[in-house]
Amino acid sequence: MLKPLPQADANYLPYNPSDTSSGNLYRYAESRRQDRHREWKNLGSDGYLAAIADEIKIRTKITQQEIFLIGELLAEAREAIKTVENKNFKDWVEENCEFSYHTAMNIFRVY
């Protein structure tokens, strides 16, 4: 049977690759994926779809956390760039990030 979603720790669970506890959303999402693939025949259609929905919720939480952290990094970079002559934030984003300035500003607004 699939493990239930963590309740108390679901608001913010930091990523730590060496952490093997259940308090790590990345590891938890991966264990859910493995359980779902291993047990799909026993879950039935509704159970299988519920397991997929649970994994989507976990991965959405991970994405929200990462976007917030990227926003924090962008805010730090924006402040640091103010101290560098002949540098502007837009050019820095275009040179150093794998997304557009427009996307950077959307992420920044989340933060």
pLDDT attached to residue 21:
53
What are the tens digits of pLDDT across the range 66-77? 999 999 999 999
Which position has the higher pLDDT, 75 or 111? 75
What are the tens digits of pLDDT across the range 54-70? 889 999 999 999 999 99
Distance (Å, whole) CA 15 – CA 87: 32
- The stretch 37-42 carries a mean pLDDT of 83
Cα separation values, 31 from 43, 51, 76, Å: 16, 12, 34
pLDDT attached to residue 7:
46
